[in-house]
């Protein structure tokens, strides 16, 4: 992240003519298990990673927020906080506008700022570049305005920005882990209560992320459709959320919902169980159980939730043949492309990378991107 911080600082000085008063960051995330459970009030087990968004900033005395986006050819946009609700925005600007509006619902009198922003989370890969961007902006504005903003409060604001202003009905997982992640740990998050518990990623294992480079955008995919199907399945059981459903209730109400709605709900119920089981397995260093849970999770995403694509399935099969029961591998993220996450023994990492590089492009015609990641602190847990 140091290189990003240097770049953000240099551009800030070039554009605004002074050193920034604040430089901070918020990480992206990888979800080890617990997919499409967050907006169903369920359980997830993500880790913050050493890829993220960096903001260099200085506060202003007026109500203008001026932002330079390094990753969009240093485009600059100015936002008037007093007329923001009426302003139209597109691309990255819609996220800035959404974050500021969400923040002002609780803190309407914030001052403006000059910001330069850059990041290295692969966009559209399922590693949550948008949440990293949102939390980085919220942490920056909170710091400049000396706001008593907690990580959980920031996560709710980031989610509101995404849901209300960016058009994606995501749950709160991405924003919560970006705000509250912990170094060398994964976070078990109860998405209903926002209760958190941490578990260590076992020593001797690395988090290997492979980007399939099959691009997808959540807003343009069937993500929102899956959420609607889950809500319909809950309603068919007379419940407000699938979190309250048991497998017995689901089976009893099967004839009250479509086959697709039943499948989606079946995934969510079983995924919650797998997530809790994997948390316990990580605590115990039981990698065989982790392997089983991750394999079952991927199969459920493929068959019940129907969000995988063939290149992703191939990557999981390829890595699974090497890892066996000493680790684990599954698709991660919203689906329809994106990334595969694997827990790999350190002495197998190079072999895993070679296996992917020698076979994936030959099979799919797409060159992969491989990242060996570490678990990092979130924006609101950084020292």
- Residues that are catalytic: 174
Cβ neighbours of 249 (radius 10 Å) = 18
Which residue, among 52, 68, 59, 62, has the nearest Cα to 12 in the 3D structure? 68
């Amino acid at each position: 992240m140091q290189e990003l911080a240097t770049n953000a600082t240099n551009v800030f000085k070039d554009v605004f003519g002074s050193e920034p008063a604040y430089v901070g960051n918020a990480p992206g995330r990888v979800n080890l298990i617990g997919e499409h459970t967050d907006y169903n009030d369920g359980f997830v087990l993500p880790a913050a990673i050493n890829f993220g968004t960096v903001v260099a900033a200085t506060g202003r005395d007026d109500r203008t927020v001026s932002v330079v986006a390094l990753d969009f050819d240093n485009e600059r946009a100015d936002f008037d906080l007093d007329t923001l609700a009426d302003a139209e925005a597109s691309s990255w600007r819609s996220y800035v506008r959404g974050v500021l509006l969400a923040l002002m619902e609780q803190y309407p009198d914030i001052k403006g700022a000059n910001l330069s922003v850059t990041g290295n989370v692969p966009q559209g890969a399922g590693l949550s570049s948008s949440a990293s961007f949102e939390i980085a902006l919220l942490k920056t504005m909170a710091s400049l305005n000396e706001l008593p903003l907690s990580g959980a409060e920031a996560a709710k604001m980031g989610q509101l920005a995404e849901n209300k202003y960016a058009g994606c009905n995501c749950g709160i997982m991405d924003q919560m882990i970006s705000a509250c992640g912990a170094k060398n740990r994964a976070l078990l998050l109860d998405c209903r209560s926002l209760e958190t518990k941490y578990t260590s990623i076992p020593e001797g294992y690395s988090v290997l992320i492979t980007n399939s480079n099959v691009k997808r955008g959540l807003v343009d995919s069937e993500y929102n459709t899956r959420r609607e199907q889950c809500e319909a399945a809950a309603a068919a059981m007379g419940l407000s959320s699938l979190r309250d459903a048991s497998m017995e209730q689901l089976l009893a109400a099967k004839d009250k919902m479509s086959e697709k709605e039943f499948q989606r709900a079946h995934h969510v119920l079983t995924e919650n169980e797998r997530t809790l089981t994997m948390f316990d397995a990580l605590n115990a260093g039981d990698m065989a159980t982790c392997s089983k849970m991750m394999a079952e999770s991927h199969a459920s995403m493929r068959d019940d939730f129907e969000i995988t694509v063939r290149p992703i399935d191939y990557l999981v099969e390829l890595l699974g043949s090497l890892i066996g029961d000493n680790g684990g591998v599954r698709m991660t993220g919203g689906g329809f492309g994106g990334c595969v996450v694997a827990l790999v023994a350190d002495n197998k990492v190079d072999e895993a990378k070679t296996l992917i590089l020698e076979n994936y492009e030959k099979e799919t015609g797409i060159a992969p991107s491989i990242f060996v990641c570490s678990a990092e602190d979130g924006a609101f847990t950084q020292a």
